[in-house]
């Protein structure tokens, strides 16, 4: 079955009944499975993670956006996290049997419907971006440029939305896109020297010459008395887990420091872990379809 | 979902229509998925591999045994492989969320039904054995003691079946049990010296002082010009894949020989590969339920 993940962010993190109502509108589409709902009071924002067959994804996301536009008034919304709209960011993520191109198509189809039927301005981002400068979410909205600023700026050519009107109502604007699955991956080291951690994180992350699809920071874990290299792996197909792990290990060895353990936060796609098993066991000819459960469920 | 695998062996390997009819009777139970059907003309025997929810397993296996008893006459059966009955051996294998104890219970429930309702003598083997000497299949029937010999021997106390009558009809007797999943695992080495391969295989296998749940032989692969260590891992929970792999690597290093690649033949349960990924990545706190697909399908 062709499965897509969708992780819409909504500008409501305090009134549970509202978030539940949005989630219900999403799961009212047959085949949708909601995996997780996270509410953040301080950010006044919630993140709903759902998975569904590819042909239901646009309808499910659309219903969530529509319901959010009915329930949330941006003129009355405050919170620590920057936001453009009631439904703020809606990324599609390819899961099993789905390509990035298909997710890009979903994002654009949804964008068109939201713009035309709900009259909400839509900006496309990530792999679905139609303007190169809109590829990165940070380039679109930030602490200094969000709903309040967009209200007037949207009349300018550079803020013309990809779909929908060039004016902002109480539901704000929605940023819709496609991106790869993100793995939150940490490696803990047997040192309490944060300077070593910072050097290792720097060696790992893309922008300082490390691995292309790794974002890395370093923290000191008070409870464990260990330094942690905390990473986001933004494309596990191209930069697999084992490569990040082995590179941390290598850079740590430079300081006589060893890896104590590593940690995956939250969910991880099966194929990402299979890739590591195949690497270490040198399983050259292995096909992922040999996994019994894939035969049952694929 | 609690899933069980069942791998019944039937004494028909030549007439495809009969094997198909047996398979159909099994898959007539809702929720049953047939993964594989292998027919062997020389053995005159077929192996059907199916998977189903635990509460359907006994009924599905029962229907297969019943159909086989209607279609196969042991008095007219010849073949290279030793056999006791039309349905010869029926093992249950724990898959996801199922314990060995539950598979033992299935085997005994099925044995009771087959004995009482079909009046076929049943011997329990493997983990389901009720007499210690019946634990090993080789101890029950062999080239020298099969259907023909059992016909008279069954009257003796030591051949009293665990269920059913102490007499054998044309459907013969059925050996029912529970065992762990078997992984066929090979490691190829960059040597053509079979003597080295034999020493490594010996170091690996249980009976010569190696790993408890490993059976190992060594072959020379003509096409690849490599020596292969060919293993059966009979309990991947207790002797995981990575341990067998690393021990081959270690023993090979003694001779300056390296591992070129390894190979899993046929299907492998997801958890067996996850265990290797967890070992190498030092994922100490990882729960298998963090695998996205498990959340979707579990």
**How much is the mean pLDDT over chain B?**
95
> What is the biggest distance separating any 2 CA atoms in chain B, rounded to whole angstroms?
61
Pick the closest to residue B105 from B178, B8, B210, B175 (CA basis). B178
Chain B positions in Cβ-Cβ contact with residue A266 (cut-off 8 Å): 290
pLDDT in tens, B17-60: 999 999 999 999 999 999 889 899 988 999 999 999 999 999 99
CA-angle at A102, arms to A100 and A108, nearest 5°: 105
Distances (CA, A) of A176 to A37, A85, A91, A104, B264: 19, 11, 6, 10, 42
Report which DSSP code applies to A82.
-
Confidence of residue B296 (pLDDT cuts 50, 70, 90): confident
Chain B residue with Cα closest to A240:
B281
Q: Which of A241, A270, A292 is opposite residue B292, by nearest beta carbon?
A: A270
Q: What angle do CA A76, A77, A83 make, to 5 degrees?
A: 135
Q: Tokens for A60?
A: 């499910």
Mutate to test the interface with A, among B5, B265, B280 (most CBs of A within 10 A): B280
B266 contacts A286? CB cut-off 8 A: no
Q: Do B291 and A273 touch (CB under 8 A)?
A: yes
Per the CB < 8 Å rule, is A293 touching B259?
Answer: no
Q: Kindly indicate the confidence band of residue B297, based on its pLDDT and cuts at 50, 70 and 90.
A: low
Token pair of B252 as six digits:
């090979």
Q: Is the dihedral of CA A72, A73, A78, A84 positive or negative?
A: positive
Those residues of chain A that have pLDDT short of 50 are: none
**Mutating which of B36, B273, B284 best tests the A interface, going by the most A Cβ atoms within 10 A?**
B273
* Token duo for residue B201: 């295989």
* Per-residue tokens: A46: 């919630």
Give the closest of A267, A280, A293 to B295, CB-based.
A267
Rounded CA separation A179/A193 (Å): 35
The pair of structure tokens assigned to A219 is 């923290």
Q: How far apart are alpha carbons A118 and A276 in whole angstroms?
A: 44
Query: Which chain B residues contact residue A259 at CB under 8 A?
Result: 282
Q: What is the pLDDT of residue B97?
A: 83
Catalytic site includes residue A81: yes
| Structure tokens that stand for A167 in this block | 């004016």
The answer to whether residues B11 and B72 touch, using CB atoms and an 8 Å cutoff, is: yes
Return the residue matching tokens 């003694």.
B254
Nearest to B293 among A262, A270, A286 (CB): A270
Chain A residues inside the 8 Å CB shell of B248 = none
Percentage of the residues of chain B whose pLDDT score is greater than 70: 99
Name the region of A233 (left: φ>0; alpha: ψ -120 to 50; beta: rest).
Answer: beta
How far away is chain B from the Cα of A10, in angstroms, using its nearest Cα? 23
Nearest CA in chain A to B51: A296
For A149, how many CA atoms within 13 A lie in the half-sphere containing its CB?
10
Question: Of the listed A2, A81, A151, A198, which one is catalytic?
Answer: A81
Q: Which residue of B has its CA nearest to A280?
A: B280
Task: Considering only residues A137 and B258, tell me which one the structure prediction assigns the higher pLDDT.
Answer: B258
At B222, list the tokens.
């003509």
Could you give the angle at which helices A57-71 and A100-117 cross, rounded to 10 degrees? 40
- b/e code A154-193 from CB counts within 10 Å (16+ = b): beeeebebbbbeeebbebbbbbbbbbbbbbebbbbbebee
Distance CA A221, CA A224 (A): 6
User: What pLDDT, on the 0 to 100 scale, is given for residue A36?
Assistant: 87
Longest dimension (CA), chain A: 61
Give the span between the Cα atoms of B68 and B18, in whole angstroms. Answer: 8
Contact B262 A282 (CB under 8 A): yes
Tell me whether residues A269 and B285 touch, CB distance under 8 A.
no
Span B236-254, average pLDDT = 97
Q: Residue A135 and residue B295: Cα distance in Å, rounded?
A: 31
Q: Which residues pair with B90 in a beta bridge?
A: B176
End-to-end CA distance of chain B: 5
For residue B126, the SS3 value is: strand
Q: What is the reported pLDDT for A298? A: 55
Q: Is A223 on the interface with B (CB under 8 A)?
A: no
Q: What value, to the nearest 5°, has the Cα angle with vertex B78 and ends B75 and B79? A: 145
User: What is the nearest CA distance from A134 to chain B, expressed in angstroms?
Assistant: 29
A281, B245: Cβ pair inside 8 Å?
yes
* pLDDT for the residue numbered B56: 97
Closest residue on chain A to B184 (Cα): A290
Q: Do A273 and B273 touch (CB under 8 A)?
A: yes
In this prediction, residue B276 carries a pLDDT of 98
B window 93-112, beta carbon within 8 A of A: 95-96
Q: Which residues of A touch B295 (CB under 8 A)?
A: 35, 267
- In whole angstroms, give the CA distance from residue A236 to residue A95: 12
Residues A269, B282: C-beta atoms closer than 8 Å: no
Confidence of residue B260 (pLDDT cuts 50, 70, 90): very high
Phi, psi of A44 (to 5 degrees): 50, 55
Residue with tokens 């076929």: B120
CA distances from A241 to A208, A219, A275 (A): 19, 20, 8
> Cβ of B274 and A277 within 8 Å?
yes
Q: What is the mean pLDDT of residues B100-107?
A: 98
Closest by Cβ to B273, choosing from A35, A274, A285: A274
Q: Which domains does chain A have, with CATH numbers?
A: 3-178 (3.30.990.10), 183-297 (3.30.70.670)
CB B92 within 8 A of CB B178: yes
**Residues of B (6-65) whose Cβ lies below 8 Å from A:** 33, 35, 51
From chain A residues 238-297, the ones with a CB under 8 A of any chain B CB are: 241-242, 245, 259-264, 266-270, 273-274, 276-277, 280-286, 290-297
Classify residue A14 as exposed, middle or buried by CB count within 10 Å of its CB (0-12, 13-18, 19+): middle
Whether the pLDDT of residue B298 is over 60: the answer is no
Comparing CB atoms, the residue among A259, A280, A285 nearest residue B276 is: A280
Interstrand relation of A45-53 and A9-10 (parallel, antiparallel or unpaired): antiparallel
Which residues partner with A221 through β-bridges? Answer: A226
Q: What is the pLDDT of residue A182?
A: 92
| Nearest Cα to Cα of residue B118 among B75, B83, B164 | B164
């Amino acid at each position: 079955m062709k499965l897509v993940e969708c992780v819409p962010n909504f500008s409501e993190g305090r009134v549970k009944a509202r978030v539940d109502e949005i989630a219900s509108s999403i799961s009212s589409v047959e085949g949708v499975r909601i995996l997780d709902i996270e509410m953040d009071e301080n950010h006044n924002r919630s993140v709903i993670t759902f998975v569904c067959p590819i042909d239901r994804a646009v309808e499910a996301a659309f219903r969530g956006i529509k319901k959010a536009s009915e329930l949330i008034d941006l003129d009355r919304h405050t919170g620590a996290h920057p936001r453009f709209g009631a439904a703020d960011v809606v990324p599609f993520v390819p899961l099993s049997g789905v390509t990035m191109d298909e997710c890009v198509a979903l994002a654009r189809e949804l964008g068109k419907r939201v713009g035309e039927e709900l009259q909400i301005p839509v900006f496309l981002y990530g792999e679905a971006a139609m303007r190169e400068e809109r590829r990165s979410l940070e380039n679109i909205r930030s602490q200094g440029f969000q709903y309040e600023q967009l209200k007037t700026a949207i009349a300018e050519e550079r803020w013309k939305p990809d779909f929908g009107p060039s004016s902002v109502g109480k539901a704000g604007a929605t940023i819709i896109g496609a991106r790869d699955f993100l793995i939150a991956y940490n490696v803990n080291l047997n040192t309490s020297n944060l300077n070593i951690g910072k050097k290792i994180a720097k060696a790992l992350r893309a922008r300082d010459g490390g691995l292309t699809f790794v974002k890395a920071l370093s923290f000191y874990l008070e409870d464990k008395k260990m330094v942690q290299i905390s990473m986001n792996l933004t494309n596990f197909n191209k930069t697999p887990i084992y490569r990040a792990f082995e590179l941390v290990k290598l850079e740590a060895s430079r300081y006589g420091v060893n890896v104590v353990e590593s940690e995956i936060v939250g969910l991880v796609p099966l194929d990402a872990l299979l890739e590591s098993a195949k690497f270490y066991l040198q399983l050259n000819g292995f096909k992922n379809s040999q996994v019994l459960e894939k035969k049952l469920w694929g």
